[in-house]
Amino acid sequence: MEKRNYERMQRMVVKVGSSSLTYNTGKLNIGQFEALVRQLSDLHNRGLDVLLVTSGAVGAGMGKLGFTQRPRTIPEKQAAAAVGQGLLLHMYEKIFAEYGLVVGQVLLTREDFADRRRFLNARNTLQTMLNMHIIPVINENDTVAVDEIKLGDNDNLAAMVAALVDADILILLSDIEGLYSDKPGTPGARIIPEIHEISDEIEALAGGVGSAVGTGGMATKIQAARIAMHSGMVTIIARASEPDVIRRLVAGEPLGTVFWPSVKLVNKKRWIAFSATVCGKIYIDEGAVTALRENGKSLLPSGVIDVDGEFEMGNTVSVIAPDGREIARGIVNYAAAEIKQIKGKQTGEIALVLGYKDYDEIIHRDNLALE
């Protein structure tokens, strides 16, 4: 198989899963830590920007607290994470220091991406750390995250971080070698080396949750790859235990499964599509679907059929086609109650119905991210 050519590659995000950092006992896999840090340090010394998204806080805490199985309740997971996060960071600080490098801990939750100001603050912080040659060690803030603000897994966190900092490549390391054409171990099952589009068939190949100590499986990696592809970056799924896996991937060796990028959304539209909290739904007719998808138009009141949810001006909503599919997300210029009054109306009628007209559009095309 030919070498892969990634052309310009200056900034990379590497995610490593819990199962790759801990043994089944919950104890830390020191050899795996050392191999990972050695490769990242070498790439950093080569001049690449390196960001590490690491799982393992809960797993490390399990070993320290003597748990024999993963905690089931949120408070127990948070307690384990509180203990384990310190162990993780200490390990990374110790080993990176052996190569003369400084690390900085960054803990994030969904709210840090959903709020535009916090999103930009996080972006500026990470950029400053890279400018200062600090290696960001990033994890979800498991000690405070609950279901409402939980990113859910570090595959998606890694993709959102990669989009946040305009990375060129995202590497997802796990105990999974790549995306298989069938269930691993099934006769005839093979690694799919390259993917250019995530179709329904590709999504169907993804299973559920992974190992006993992690929360992610192939399904979350496919979700992460989708975010990365629309952010204009290469994504690779590979096995963490493969010798020198990161350096070999960067060199173009055809390991694992590579997802090639699609059309790149601008930064603001990436935030709308993948980070902002969706506060409601707007249902539109076929004419509006055509106007948005084929003609690059804004969403006008005349194309709106119905509204679901209570949202305010400036919130992000999901735009739903007549067949029930989400075709876009966008920032609305009017509140839900106002849109209910002007739906189906012409632009010239907005002032007559509401008594005022602040905007011609329900969602301006500059604030609309298509699927």
Q: If you average pLDDT over residues 7-32, what whole number do you get?
A: 84
Query: For residues 32 and 12, what is the distance between their CA atoms, to the nearest angstrom?
Result: 19
Cα 189 from chain centroid (whole Å): 28
The CATH topology of domain 11-269 is Carbamate kinase (3.40.1160)
Provide CB contacts within 8 A for 47, sequence distance 6+.
10
Annotation-wise, does 15 bind a ligand? yes
Annotation-wise, does 347 bind a ligand? no
Q: What pLDDT does 307 receive?
A: 96
Q: If you average pLDDT over residues 239-262, what whole number do you get?
A: 91
* Torsion over CA: 301, 303, 307, 311 (sign): negative
Of 59-73, 114-128, 247-261, 328-342, which gets the smallest average pLDDT?
59-73
Annotation-wise, does 55 bind a ligand? yes
Q: How much of the chain, in percent, has pLDDT values that exceed 90?
A: 45
What are the sequence ranges of the domains in the chain?
A: 11-269, 277-370
Regarding predicted confidence, which is higher, 116 or 44?
44
Regarding predicted confidence, which is higher, 120 or 270?
120
Q: What pLDDT does 269 receive?
A: 75
Of 49-53, 189-193, 316-320, which gets the smallest average pLDDT?
189-193
Q: Is the pLDDT of residue 161 over 80?
A: yes
Annotation-wise, does 217 bind a ligand? yes
- For residue 371, count CB atoms less than 10 angstroms from its CB and return exposed for 0-12, middle for 13-18, buried for 19 or more: middle
Q: If you average pLDDT over residues 184-201, what whole number do you get?
A: 83
Torsion of CA 123, 128, 129, 132, to 10 degrees: 160
- Whether 115 and 51 have beta carbons less than 8 Å apart is answered as no
Q: What pLDDT does 36 receive?
A: 95
Average pLDDT taken over every residue of the chain:
85
CA-nearest of 155, 154, 163 to 179 is 155
CATH superfamily of the 277-370 domain: PUA domain (2.30.130.10)
Q: What pLDDT does 1 receive?
A: 58
Q: If you average pLDDT over residues 97-118, what whole number do you get?
A: 89
Query: Cβ of 64: how many Cβ atoms within 10 Å?
Result: 15
Write b or e for each residue in 164-198: b if 16 or more Cβ atoms lie within 10 A of its Cβ, otherwise e: bbbbbbbbbbbebbbbbeeeeeeeeeebbeebeeb
Annotation-wise, does 216 bind a ligand? yes
Per residue in 302-318, pLDDT tens? 999 999 999 888 889 99
Annotation-wise, does 348 bind a ligand? no
Of 14-23, 58-67, 164-173, 236-245, which gets the smallest average pLDDT?
58-67
Provide CB contacts within 8 A for 243, sequence distance 6+.
35
Residue that has been written with the tokens 């998606």 in this structure? 156
Query: For residues 368 and 303, what is the distance between their CA atoms, to the nearest angstrom?
Result: 15
CA-nearest of 77, 68, 78, 55 to 175 is 55
Per residue in 281-298, pLDDT tens? 999 999 999 999 898 899
Annotation-wise, does 218 bind a ligand? yes
SS3 (DSSP) at 263: coil
* Torsion over CA: 158, 163, 167, 170 (sign): positive
SS3 (DSSP) at 242: coil
Q: Which two tokens mark 270? A: 């990436």
**Which range has the top average pLDDT, 81-90, 175-184, 321-330?**
321-330
Q: Is the pLDDT of residue 2 over 80?
A: no
Annotation-wise, does 264 bind a ligand? no
SS3 (DSSP) at 244: coil
Of 12-21, 25-34, 89-98, 268-277, which gets the smallest average pLDDT?
268-277
Q: What pLDDT does 31 receive?
A: 92
Q: What pLDDT does 150 receive?
A: 53
Provide CB contacts within 8 A for 102, sequence distance 6+.
96, 133, 134, 135
Q: If you average pLDDT over residues 224-231, what whole number do you get?
A: 85
Annotation-wise, does 142 bind a ligand? yes
Q: If you average pLDDT over residues 142-150, what whole number do you get?
A: 53
> Looking at 154-277, which runs of residues are DSSP E strands?
169-174, 194-195, 234-239, 257-259
